Amino acid sequence: MNKVYVSKSQTVTKGDTLFTIDPKPYQYAVNKYTAALKLAKLKLRDTKILVKKRAAPRANIDKYQSEVDQISAQLKNAQYELDNTDIKAPANGIISLAVLQEGQTVSASTGVMNLIQTDKVWLATAMKQNGMGRIVAGQSASVIFPSAPGNTYSTTVLLIPEGIVAGQFTAEITENPISALKSLENLYPVKIAFPAEASALLRRPGTLATVTVYTDEGNPVNVLAKILQWISTWVNFVF
């Protein structure tokens, strides 16, 4: 368990410090193994001299070489832990949930912060499987958002997963919606490009949307689908 110091920022850039673990115990460990390694190398050097003079058995070289190797590994591990006391953001994002306060302790097995990446924003939708044979990447689609009534945005299909695995759909995995949608019975997840003209407010992770994919150009059903979606987006003003 380690004392921490927490950044107060909710919006972070890649490389920003999220929180810092008190480095003193780790620095002490590095100092300890650095001194031990120096002593072990001196022993090894002296032993080689004695063996050369036939004043010590050759097996002692292997013994002290093993000691040097072991302490070197311990020093590398201690240095790694010291280097990782400054926890940095792996990507641009938003801290959606942080349970840390300055002075609290953390452990490697307990999550303390949710970072939602904002560099790559896209939409995840679920389509009925009986229509999946007509949907391919690159097809045009349109999107409406309940939080932007009256607006329809054009976009495209990005990806159709090669396969899905049954599981459980929970709110805790909204940072990876494709994985969440894989479990929906009789539905198949589809990745949709986020509309370029949509406002920054709509790019917040967790925003709801309705997606329509147009599988056949010139199909009169597409016109009906657009009309129904247009009606839906204006209904959002009421509901």
Distance from C-alpha of 8 to C-alpha of 26, rounded to nearest angstrom: 24
What pLDDT does residue 77 have?
Answer: 97
What pLDDT does residue 102 have?
Answer: 78
What pLDDT does residue 209 have?
Answer: 87
Which of 193, 160, 170, 166 is closest to 182 using CA atoms? 166
| Residue 34, phi-psi category: left (phi > 0), alpha (psi -120 to 50), beta (remainder) | alpha
pLDDT < 70: residue spans in the chain: 1-9, 97, 163-186, 217-231, 233-239
Ranges for all domains in the chain classified under CATH 2.40.30.170: 120-235
According to CATH, the topology of domain 120-235 is: Elongation Factor Tu (Ef-tu); domain 3 (2.40.30)
**3-class SS at 135?**
coil
Q: Describe the crossing of helices 24-52 and 59-83 by its angle, rounded to 10 degrees.
A: 160
Q: Tell me: the pLDDT tens digits for 45-79?
A: 999 999 999 888 999 999 999 999 999 999 999 99
User: 158: buried, middle or exposed (CB in 10 Å: 19+, 13-18, 0-12)?
Assistant: middle
Structural tokens at position 183: 């479990």
What pLDDT does residue 219 have?
Answer: 63
What pLDDT does residue 128 have?
Answer: 78
Cα 65 to Cα 46, 48, 58, 70, 76: the distances in Å are: 12, 10, 11, 9, 17
pTM above 0.75, yes or no: no
Query: Are the CB atoms for 194 and 226 separated by under 8 Å?
Result: no
